[in-house]
Chains A and B, each alone.
Chain A
Amino acid sequence: MIAFGQFLEVLIGGLMSGVLYSLVALGFVLIFKASGVFNYAQGAMVLLAGLALVRALDLLVANGFPLWVAVVLGIGFAAVIMAATAWLIERFVVGPLVNQDALTLFMSTIGVTFVIEGVAEMIFGSDVYPLQLFPTDAWFLFEGLFPGGILVNKLDVWGALIAGILVAGLALFFQRTKTGRALRAVADDHLAAHSVGIPISWIWFVVWLAAGLVALVAATVWGTKLGVQFSITFLALKALPVLIIGGLTSIPGAIVGGLIVGAGEKIAEVYLGPSIGGGIEYWFAYVLALAVLLVRPQGLFGERIIERI
């Protein structure tokens, strides 16, 4: 019974942290789905959103605003910053590069990454800023069933809840609204979408804005977990295997991929770690992604490559 309790704890912990990876991966999916651009800057956007939020919060609280007002204003401020970023990127980077090779666009987002990181730290500072939006203590569940119960982090539960709401919202947006339909059309064929009068620059702004807001949501959760600091940008690397496993074009895929990666790496660490040495957590996801690439290159939920015979 102790062994099973421990397994459950590892599994739940893993699934929850996986959802947090999914939050970052979602931003990638949004942009890739609509423009075929692999946005390397997503991690930097999480950093920017986090810094804007935490610095605005600190300033407002220091000036005597009540906390809830400060939170609302701070999130509003960060959202405006993300909107401005989306506009600038569309206007000066992706817009002029329309119809260029996917690789060219990818390279341009690497450039954008460095600009965002540099400018964000120049304006908002480069320290570690603690953020306290969600409770970080733990629950102990089923104490009657297992000795000591199962430890569940409250922050992780919040993260999972928020990710769920976000995915439902995005799915509705993509499937049910006119703009969502136009987004999918642009994703399929830029030029054809252009020819029926869908303004691509507007669509791309909307997409980058959506990715920016997803980055903001990810920043609230990850900032609470790690503090807002430069290393948040490396989350982008953690999102990579999630994307490959789930499929670059699928929103549910990002979630399922996150769950698989999260649970997989924690279980591997706990159960395989002792026999082949620790540190599996750091590379397990990448090996898993490689295996998926070999068997199903579009990922578990990726858009099927349509080929008429």
Chain B
Amino acid sequence: MTTEATLVLSVNNIEVVYDHVILVLKGVSLEVPQGGIVALLGANGAGKTTTLKAVSNLLHAERGAVTKGSILFDGVEVKSLSPNDLVRRGCIQVMEGRRAFAHLTVEENILTGAFTRRDGKSAIAQDLERVYAYFPRLKERRGSTAGYTSGGEQQMCVIGRALMSRPKMILLDEPSMGLAPQVVEEIFEIVRDLNIKEGVSFLLAEQNTNMALRYASHGYILENGRVVMDGEARALTANEDVKEFYLGVAGDKRKSYRDVKHYKRRKRWLA
């Protein structure tokens, strides 16, 4: 797809083990090009979140470790960097389940994203206004306690918080979780906006395959800790297996239980 020079992230055949025994990722490789949106798809427990945390180096706090393979962000091996080093270099994760700081106001939440910055108050104030330009709703609610805002507002708040660190790449984990379809749409539109106008690359873990493939340029499908399929988003959307297993579209006629055997066989092939 792209040459080495323009990759912002390349994950090479990594293995992740929790608690020294539980093997969660069994050789995952993926690439995010500069300025791209790459979707990481898969069911619960497939290893999407683990992959993102391996990149952002947050695994350590949950007793996980990358035992094999390498992860290069912007050409630098990630293993030796702490999460705050990584944020400083432009790689920030927006965690699953939003995780806004509940007792801080919306504005305070956004400002915590600028913790690693050393370029002075006026630059930070400027960026705050920029975040408000992307999320006008946050400006209206800047003084409210984040814990009492709606789920959509909290999701916007944590994306805005990540933007304050001036990232090159955002690892976005399930932004659609528990949100109404219109709100999901709104958030994905903003993601695309940020991608185009600010040049931020995204690695997007999603269960909402349909939505993710509409906005991504490229997709990877994870199952049981392995990449089972990858390709251009358009090609994936057109793929019969993806249609059947992830998009819930089953060719011409509806499937009946008679065909379960068929499903299982193909599933095995995929794994």
Name A residues whose Cβ lies closer than 8 Å to a Cβ of B: 98-99, 178, 181-182, 184-185, 187-199, 303, 306, 308
Chain A neighbourhood of B56, CB < 8 A? 195
B22 within 8 A of A: no
Cross-chain contact A196 with B87 (CB below 8 angstroms): yes
Alpha-carbon gap, A98 to B58, bound state (A): 12
With known contacts A184-B104, A192-B99, A306-B147, A197–B92 Cβ distance under 8 A: yes
Q: Which of B86, B103, B115 contacts A188 (CB 8 A)?
A: B103
With known contacts A178-B115, A181-B108, A182-B115, A306–B103 Cβ distance under 8 A: yes
**A306 to chain B: closest residue by CB:** B147
**B53 to chain A: closest residue by CB:** A195
B111 within 8 A of A: yes
Cross-chain contact A197 with B103 (CB below 8 angstroms): no
Alpha-carbon gap, A178 to B113, bound state (A): 11
Taking the closest CB of chain A, its distance from the CB of B128, in whole angstroms, is 13
Cross-chain contact B111 with A194 (CB below 8 angstroms): no
Cross-chain contact A192 with B88 (CB below 8 angstroms): no
Cross-chain contact B101 with A189 (CB below 8 angstroms): yes
Cross-chain contact B147 with A181 (CB below 8 angstroms): no
A sample of 8 cross-chain residue pairs with beta-carbon separation below 8 angstroms, ordered by A number, consists of A98-B61, A185-B109, A188-B103, A189-B99, A195-B94, A197-B87, A197-B113, A306-B145
**A190 to chain B: closest residue by CB:** B61
Alpha-carbon gap, A189 to B158, bound state (A): 13
Residue interface bits B67-111, CB-to-A below 8 A is 1, else 0: 000000000000000111011100011110001111110001101
Chain A neighbourhood of B116, CB < 8 A? 197
With known contacts A99-B62, A306-B103, A306-B147, A199–B93 Cβ distance under 8 A: no
Residue interface bits B113-129, CB-to-A below 8 A is 1, else 0: 10110000000000000
With known contacts A98-B61, A191-B61, A306-B145, A196–B112 Cβ distance under 8 A: yes
Taking the closest CB of chain B, its distance from the CB of A248, in whole angstroms, is 14
State the total of A-B contacts with C-beta under 8 angstroms.
85
Cross-chain contact A185 with B104 (CB below 8 angstroms): yes
Chain B neighbourhood of A189, CB < 8 A? 99, 101-102
Alpha-carbon gap, A190 to B101, bound state (A): 10
Alpha-carbon gap, A184 to B112, bound state (A): 10
Taking the closest CB of chain B, its distance from the CB of A9, in whole angstroms, is 41
Q: Which of B86, B99, B111 contacts A191 (CB 8 A)?
A: B99
Chain A neighbourhood of B161, CB < 8 A? 196
Chain B neighbourhood of A178, CB < 8 A? 111, 115
Chain A neighbourhood of B87, CB < 8 A? 196-197
Cross-chain contact A198 with B112 (CB below 8 angstroms): yes
Since A184-B104, A189-B99 are in contact, a sample of 5 more A-B pairs with Cβ atoms closer than 8 Å, ordered by chain A residue number, is A184-B103, A185-B109, A191-B95, A196-B112, A196-B161
Cross-chain contact B82 with A199 (CB below 8 angstroms): yes
Q: Which of A187, A190, A196 contacts B162 (CB 8 A)?
A: A196
What bracket does the count of chain B residues touching chain A fall in?
Answer: 35 or more
Name B residues whose Cβ lies closer than 8 Å to a Cβ of A: 56, 58, 61-63, 82-84, 86-88, 92-95, 99-104, 108-109, 111-113, 115-116, 145, 147-148, 158, 161-162, 165
Cross-chain contact A193 with B93 (CB below 8 angstroms): no
Chain A neighbourhood of B147, CB < 8 A? 306, 308
Alpha-carbon gap, A125 to B221, bound state (A): 66
Q: Is chain A's interface secondary structure helix, strand, loop, or mixed overall?
A: helix
**A307 to chain B: closest residue by CB:** B147
Q: Which of A185, A195, A303 contacts B83 (CB 8 A)?
A: A195
Task: Kindly name the residue among A190, A194, A195, A308 whose own CB sees the greatest number of chain B CB atoms within 10 A.
Answer: A195
Alpha-carbon gap, A148 to B204, bound state (A): 77
Chain A neighbourhood of B63, CB < 8 A? 99
Task: Kindly name the residue among A187, A197, A308 whose own CB sees the greatest number of chain B CB atoms within 10 A.
Answer: A197
Taking the closest CB of chain A, its distance from the CB of B205, in whole angstroms, is 14
Alpha-carbon gap, A303 to B87, bound state (A): 30
Task: Kindly name the residue among A192, A194, A308 whose own CB sees the greatest number of chain B CB atoms within 10 A.
Answer: A192
Cross-chain contact A197 with B99 (CB below 8 angstroms): no
Chain A neighbourhood of B102, CB < 8 A? 188-189, 306
Taking the closest CB of chain A, its distance from the CB of B203, in whole angstroms, is 14
Alpha-carbon gap, A199 to B84, bound state (A): 6
With known contacts A189-B101, A192-B95, A196-B161, A181–B112 Cβ distance under 8 A: yes
A-B CB proximity, top 7 nearest? A197-B87, A306-B147, A192-B99, A188-B101, A197-B116, A197-B84, A185-B112
Chain A neighbourhood of B93, CB < 8 A? 195
Cross-chain contact B112 with A194 (CB below 8 angstroms): no
Chain B neighbourhood of A99, CB < 8 A? 61-63
Alpha-carbon gap, A194 to B116, bound state (A): 11
